[in-house]
């Protein structure tokens, strides 16, 4: 059975474990039609276009 050779302080333990929980910022790209920020490979929620085609018809409210 493995036995630790040296004491691991709480700070060292938490510093090591914190690297697992780092979050990356969401990937965002500009829509080619309306230039709004949107998630890549998704229909633009602002104008309804995807890959240069109107996929969702947005009403003019």
Task: Give tens-digit pLDDT for 21-58.
Answer: 888 889 999 999 899 999 999 999 999 999 888 888 87
**In angstroms, rounded to a whole number, what is the distance separating the alpha carbons of residues 7 and 41?**
48
Query: pLDDT tens digits for 2-27?
Result: 999 999 999 999 999 987 888 888 99
Give yes or no for residue 59 having a pLDDT over 80.
Answer: no
Residue at token pair 């059975």? 1
Report the distance separating Cα 21 and Cα 23, nearest Å.
6
Q: Is the pLDDT reported for residue 61 higher than 70?
A: no
Q: Where are the domains of the chain?
A: 26-61
Q: Which residue has the higher pLDDT, 60 or 35?
A: 35
Q: Whole-model pTM above 0.75? A: no
The C-alpha atoms of residue 14 and residue 61 are separated, in whole angstroms, by 51
Q: How do strand 49-50 and strand 53-54 relate by DSSP bridges?
A: antiparallel
The token pair that represents 6 in the structure block: 């040296």
């Amino acid at each position: 059975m493995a036995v630790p050779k040296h004491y691991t302080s709480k700070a060292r333990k938490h510093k090591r474990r914190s690297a697992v929980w780092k979050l990356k910022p969401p990937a965002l790209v500009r829509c080619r039609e309306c230039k709004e920020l949107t998630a890549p490979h998704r229909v633009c929620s602002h104008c309804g276009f995807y890959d240069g085609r109107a996929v969702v018809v947005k009403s003019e409210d």
